Amino acid sequence: MAVNLLPPDAADLLPIQGIRLATASAGIKKPGRQDVVLIEIAEHSATAAVYTRNAFCAAPVQICREHQKKTSPRYLLINSGNANAGTGQQGMQAARQSCQAVSEVTGVSSHAVLPFSTGVIGQQLPVDKIEAVLPDAVANLQADNWLGAAKAIMTTDTVAKARSVQCRLSGQVVTITGIAKGAGMIRPDMATMLAYIATDAVISQPLLSVMLQKVMDESFNRITVDGDTSTNDACVLIATGRARQAEITELDSDDAQCFVEALTDLCRYLAQAIVRDGEGATKFISINVTGGADSAECRQVAYTIAHSPLVKTALFASDPNWGRILAAVGRSGLNALDLTKVDIALDEVQIVSAGQPAPDYTEARGQAVMNQSELTIHVALGRGDLEDLVWTCDLSYDYVKINAEYRT
Amino acid sequence: MAVNLLPPDAADLLPIQGIRLATASAGIKKPGRQDVVLIEIAEHSATAAVYTRNAFCAAPVQICREHQKKTSPRYLLINSGNANAGTGQQGMQAARQSCQAVSEVTGVSSHAVLPFSTGVIGQQLPVDKIEAVLPDAVANLQADNWLGAAKAIMTTDTVAKARSVQCRLSGQVVTITGIAKGAGMIRPDMATMLAYIATDAVISQPLLSVMLQKVMDESFNRITVDGDTSTNDACVLIATGRARQAEITELDSDDAQCFVEALTDLCRYLAQAIVRDGEGATKFISINVTGGADSAECRQVAYTIAHSPLVKTALFASDPNWGRILAAVGRSGLNALDLTKVDIALDEVQIVSAGQPAPDYTEARGQAVMNQSELTIHVALGRGDLEDLVWTCDLSYDYVKINAEYRT
């Protein structure tokens, strides 16, 4: 039911030298599905990560932050089916124990293991089930298992999300491959749902962190399904350096710009894939707000529209009830908004011009745009030159159904 | 389907000396239903009003503000079925014309007429249909028609909302009777959906405005159904003075305190009635946040919980998935929130104590509270002594259905 989102083809996902992946079935929430992923990172790789800003962040996020300060990661251990969030000291202990278990099987320090969990909040993690499958997982690590990993981290996702891109740096082709999961509790804040991205490019660790933050702001931080920032959001970017091109150390170098462009392309694809697969989504909506005094106020208007249950249900119904968009703009809290300068359009169909109903608007023209599975809501504020863009989806019966029945 | 909300009984609604009401059927949206209300206010009454803060406020709201500056209102003209919002200059002209029409039938200045509209946004008001029924409406004005008026202002409401209360001021019984409407696009901001309240008490106009604002903050400004502030919110409070008790002029007098208490009681009833009849609502939820450094941050946390689609769908499903409440508290944006001081409870069942899962919590205890049609979510922040309270409802299939099919 995802909106114009095809499952990835294993052949399109390129291995990254220095990265191997394994999946396993630990029966964490339900038996029989792959729900554990182990990602091995070669020595001397650089790794950057961003995490949720939710104050109630999950135990694994706290452990990740702690371990990252101590040493460079060598293994990422991910489970779906249980978020290990809201689990208190027992949850912290479980996350630590899972890292220790990886340490025992692989011989690396437990601080070199980063744990990640996604799934239901508030239930203790059955860490013994994860421990039991680790020896097999380590034995099965493979370079060409990105698709398997993408599938194993899914929760309410209906389609796996994965992509590879390549770019040429100083004459040398480098590859970036990434996977992501997420469909609900999606309003990333300085991070995202779970996403793991690796490249063989040679990039210094400090620059890798800068690049990740920059690209986040242009991709995962622009999406919202339901406005609910998760307790477990995390995005990891690894550079194994195996491409052996000249190391990138400066953000303003040609190579860095080229790499950031390719990484942005990949992250936008994954971020938009999360929205296309948003819980119950039937439409993919871009909200483009221009003419702002700053980009923050453009985002404020865009998110007010994106989170309005009335706008989202009208989109679901393909009802050009544009009064709801206008009401959302009006309540978005902008100081001294001059309505006589506001324009609103659905794709190319103008609905409000200078605060008045557009003279050439007809219900038939609005309906034609609303019938599409993808459309852009344009709002021009007439207050300045800045703009911003947010991607979201509609609110359907299935959103309620999925979230009312999530734990059953 | 409203939650524990009975239709008012006509016999319980007390007339207010100096107020007469009429309804009429103008066929604004659908033929055959009463959709116009005319309220006559006796000379020398004091009237206070508050309106939506939505920047895209409707034409009638703009006319109300303009007319109130010029003279004291003598008639309120209300229609349902069309909000006359997003209608530009033509909508302003229609609202003016409707006041002029009342002026012609009654002989008062058109500035003494306040117009109100509620219903679909973005369609022009068929003002000629309203004009056609005005002579009959004026001929049918009655003191005991509060219930008829409450019914005629309904849109997606399923139950009429009306109440009378009495209090004794300096030995004299005074009466307050009020009606309200609203079920969706409900997150009043300094005002409410439509509400009309009258009393026979003698209260000076300046004090009446102060009282109204004070009581709004304790009633209509505490509710949310979907977070969408309407373009048409308005609340009017009239004091006809016919009770002839000693005029109330000071807020700190015993009479004023007594009156405010009775008015608060009535407004809370009406405000809660709007939530109980919230679109698709199956549960009535109080969210009580204590221990804040100021009441604004308590409200911020309460509204974040109240607007979370994930919390609302869990409430609909009677699923004690309290991790969603915890996640909402965590993303509510409070600066330096210390999780080790946070307590969360459902009614009397503690779920989080000092940031940790409460030791005596069991799924069965959480389920027992969740099965109720009314419950309170308690959050203690441990940051200070202030608190705040918000009322909301759950998010059900029917919310989506009602709003996806609203215009059909």
Q: For B281-294, write each residue's pLDDT tens digit.
A: 999 999 999 999 99
- Stretch B234-257: mean pLDDT, rounded? 91
| pLDDT beneath 50: ranges in chain A | 190-191
- Stretch B241-262: mean pLDDT, rounded? 91
- Residue ranges of alpha helices (H) inside B107-244 are 127-139, 146-152, 205-217
**A279: annotated binding-site residue?**
yes
Q: Is the pLDDT of residue B191 over 90?
A: no
Provide, as residue numbers in chain B, all residues whose Cβ is less than 8 Å from the Cβ of A314.
Answer: 403-404, 406
Residues B233 and B145 in one domain: yes
Partner B, chain A 332-351, Cβ-Cβ below 8 Å: 334, 337, 339
DSSP state of B6: P
Residue B227, pLDDT score: 78
Last residue of a domain, one of A276, A295, A330: A276
Q: Is residue A267 part of a domain?
A: yes
Residue B360, pLDDT score: 93
Residue B163, pLDDT score: 94
Q: Tell me: the pLDDT tens digits for B343-387? A: 999 999 999 999 888 999 999 999 999 999 999 999 999 999 999
Residue A131, pLDDT score: 98
Number of C-beta neighbours around residue A386 at 10 A: 17
Residue A190, pLDDT score: 46
Residues B254 and B393 in one domain: no
Provide, as residue numbers in chain A, all residues whose Cβ is less than 8 Å from the Cβ of B367.
Answer: none
Residues B339 and B254 in one domain: no
Residues A232 and A315 in one domain: no
Q: Tell me: the pLDDT tens digits for B145-179? A: 999 999 999 988 899 999 999 999 988 899 999 99
Distances (CA, A) of A246 to A170, A174, A314, B327: 7, 11, 52, 44
Of B100 and B55, the structure prediction assigns the larger pLDDT to: B100
- Stretch B109-137: mean pLDDT, rounded? 95
Please give, rounded to a whole number of angstroms, the shortest distance from the CA of A371 to a CA of chain B: 14
Residues A22 and A51 in one domain: yes
Residues A50 and A132 in one domain: yes
Residue B70, pLDDT score: 95
Q: Is residue B1 part of a domain?
A: no
Number of domains within chain A:
2
Instruction: Write the single-letter amino acid at A312.
Output: K
- Stretch B191-209: mean pLDDT, rounded? 86
Residues A36 and A59 in one domain: yes
Q: Is A50 on the interface with B (CB under 8 A)?
A: no
Q: What is the domain-level CATH number for residue B356?
A: 3.10.20.340
Q: What is the domain-level CATH number for residue B91?
A: 3.60.70.12
Q: Percentage of chain B with pLDDT > 90?
A: 71
Residues B237 and B337 in one domain: no
Residues B234 and B346 in one domain: no
Give the residue on B whose Cα is nearest the Cα of A55: B330
Prediction ipTM score: 0.82
Partner B, chain A 176-195, Cβ-Cβ below 8 Å: 184-185, 187, 189
Domain extent, residue B63, equals: 10-276
Q: Is the pLDDT of residue B240 over 60?
A: yes
Our answer to whether residue B192 is catalytic in this structure is yes
Residue A14, pLDDT score: 94
Q: Is the pLDDT of residue B192 over 60?
A: no
- Stretch B41-60: mean pLDDT, rounded? 90
Residue A207, pLDDT score: 93
CB B233 within 8 A of CB B121: no
**Average pLDDT value for chain B:** 92
Residue B190, pLDDT score: 46
Question: Do the Cβ atoms of B228 and A324 come within 8 Å?
Answer: yes
Instruction: Write the single-letter amino acid at B54.
Output: N
Residue A22, pLDDT score: 98
Q: Is residue B3 part of a domain?
A: no
Q: Is A97 exposed, middle or buried (0-12, 13-18, 19+ CB in 10 A)?
A: middle
CB A315 within 8 A of CB A394: yes
Q: Is B252 exposed, middle or buried (0-12, 13-18, 19+ CB in 10 A)?
A: exposed
Residue B27, pLDDT score: 96
The sign of the CA dihedral B261, B262, B263, B266 is positive
Residues B238 and B146 in one domain: yes
